[in-house]
A and B are shown apart, each in its own frame.
Chain A
Amino acid sequence: MKLLELLGYYNYWVFAIALVIGLYAVISKTNLIKKLIGLSIFQSAVFLMYITMDKVEGGTAPIIKAGVEDQIYSNPLPQVLILTAIVVGVSTLALGLAIVVRVNERYGTIEESEILESD
């Protein structure tokens, strides 16, 4: 039982580890696209944290079934928030990639170190 309870936190640990893996890529990689890939992992991890909150034991997706009484439904609110956040994430990514494409056109490279040298 103790172990099971501890495993109840496993989602949060995965969130933490995926988050820092993404952040590590953003900080330490010099390739601009790799940075954006890291950013994408970083954001996805946060989605996991929110969605973990909405789960209820014995619950189901919050779509009300007609005629079924006493059904437990999971929490709809974090789902709504993450729907929004996913779209925000892809928008940021598209903009970032557009900038990277332009950087590549103007500098001829997408390695940060080489760009800094050429300025």
Chain B
Amino acid sequence: MDLISHLPALQVIVPMLSAPIIVLLHPRGLAWAGATLAALVSFAISIALAVAVLGGETQTYAMGGWPAPFGIALSVGGLSALVLLVVTGAAAIALLAARPSIDQQIELERQPMFYSAWLLGLAGLAGIVVSADAFNIFVFMEISSLASYVLIAGGPDRRALLAVFKYLIMGTIGATFYLIGVGLIYMMTGTLNLADMESRIGDVAQTRPVLVAAGFITIGLALKAAVFPLHVWLPNAYTQAPHMITVFLAACATKVSIYVLIRFDYMVFQPTMAEHDNQFALFLMPLALLGILVASAVAMFEGNIKRLLGTSSVAQIGYIMLGASFISLAGVEASVMHIFNHALAKGGLFLAVACIAYRFRDLRIQELGGVAKTMPFTCAALVLCGLSLIGIPGTAGFISKWLLITASLESGPFGWIFVAVILVSSLMAVVYIWRIVESLYFGGSANRDTVIAEAPLQLLVVTWIAALANLYFGFFPEVPLALADNAAGVLMGYGK
């Protein structure tokens, strides 16, 4: 076997096997360097994978050489490749910039374990994405969850502990619900392989255990993905986590759960369940709409800048769910694109926040008056990513919002309602981004005795890379669009 065919496996095992080595790297900075190297290598692997599947083919890998329903199979298609790019990209970018901020927040002797947990989180998320086996997804979900509990518990405030405890309880309930659902499907089909499940579920699709399984899997994954109203753990966890961890998790953690949800709902349940449309139309779509409106509205009144952005993530997850619930090619494509673009925008925003947090400990918005005078570059990057989050033409965020609006209009006579919701919530996004910008640029500067300067170069450069990526993918969205198009085709092709 050549290297290319090993790529799906390498995607997971490079970060996973690096993690135990990182624990042993004690001298200063070495753990960071090792972790960053591993993350960069896996980012390179995901780029190679994306190139390999750009043409529309799927790369599969039989773990241990055993054929598919008996052994564990990995498969990487357009959708997985795009999500992999997001996951590994977020990890690589955040790790590149992490050192100054992490040095400030985590004691030196605990850092090797921290970076090791970070790599395990990356390996877990990548493992979920490449896996084509329902139970294997559970195992890697647990690796990534445990790792993210550890990472969030690194937050310096004591409230971080409470936030992470809540997250642990919610996350475990979500994962166990997923496990119950998988068990029920296994009971009725006798297989764990997703493709095999799909072909065998047809005979039993209308039996009660499968219907209940669909419910359990949807609720379990919705809990993990923080779909409204199961999002209560998210704002606290994101606010209290170390700043660089917020960058990493906000960009990719919940998206991976959504990815699994979409995969299950479109590939396993879709072809056989007559109620499938209803499931989306009656449950997920209203939740998505409510989530968009309520979370955007709440975000307008949040005081802490990290909490504000975390709450806004719940609304953005609503957009992704809304696109998926149209059950149309355009809708799914918009949804997949938004996974990518929101990661760019939110990752960039949290990076900028991390820059600010490096100099200012208090992140309440009214305390940040006039920061732009001392940190002009950071604030400019923040504005750029903010524009992308709102969806101003020329930024990446615009592409997916535009796709979403087109898909809404195509979705039927009530399409204008969805368009209205999207527009209203975009206006709300303008309001909450403006609150930050107003404070940063025009707020009265409080008396600060400490020397305030621009953020360290390492942080700043990476922040600007992320900000410019928002611009770049606003003007040249061809590659992610091709992957999303490919993904939507595959997902919808199963149904029709």
Residue positions of A touching B, CB distance < 8 A: 19, 23, 26, 32, 35, 39, 42-43, 46, 49-50, 53, 77-78, 81, 84-85, 88, 91-92, 95-96, 99-100, 102-103, 106-107, 115, 119
Contact = CB atoms under 8 A, between A and B. Distances in A.
B194 to A, nearest CB: 15
A95 B164 CA distance: 10
Interface stretch (B167-175, B366-374, B402-410, B485-493): B167-175
Contacts of B135: 81, 84
Given A32-B165, A53-B183, A53-B186, 19 more contacts: A26-B169, A39-B173, A42-B173, A46-B183, A49-B183, A81-B135, A84-B139, A85-B138, A85-B179, A91-B142, A92-B146, A92-B168, A95-B168, A99-B153, A99-B165, A103-B158, A106-B158, A119-B159, A119-B162
Nearest to A50: B183
Contacts of A32: 165
Contact of B172 (A19, A43, A78, A100): A43
A82 to B, nearest CB: 10
Contacts of B153: 99, 102
B146 A95 contact: yes
Interface string B155-193: 000110110110011001100100110010011000010
Q: Shortest 10 CB-CB distances between A and B: which pairs? A: A106-B158, A103-B161, A88-B142, A99-B165, A102-B161, A96-B168, A50-B183, A92-B172, A53-B187, A81-B135
Tell me if B's interface is mostly helix, strand, loop or mixed.
helix
B149 A99 contact: yes
A18 to B, nearest CB: 12
28 contacts: A19-B180, A23-B173, A26-B169, A32-B165, A39-B172, A42-B176, A46-B176, A46-B179, A46-B180, A46-B183, A78-B186, A84-B135, A91-B142, A91-B146, A92-B168, A92-B172, A95-B149, A95-B150, A95-B168, A96-B165, A96-B169, A100-B165, A102-B161, A103-B158, A103-B161, A106-B161, A107-B158, A119-B162
Nearest to A118: B158
Q: Which of B161, B168, B179 has the most CB of A within 10 A?
A: B161
A85 B186 CA distance: 15
A116 to B, nearest CB: 8
Contacts of A103: 158, 161-162, 165
Contacts of B180: 19, 46, 49
Contacts of B159: 119
A46 B183 CA distance: 9
Contacts of B168: 92, 95-96, 99
Nearest to A42: B176
Contacts of A46: 176, 179-180, 183
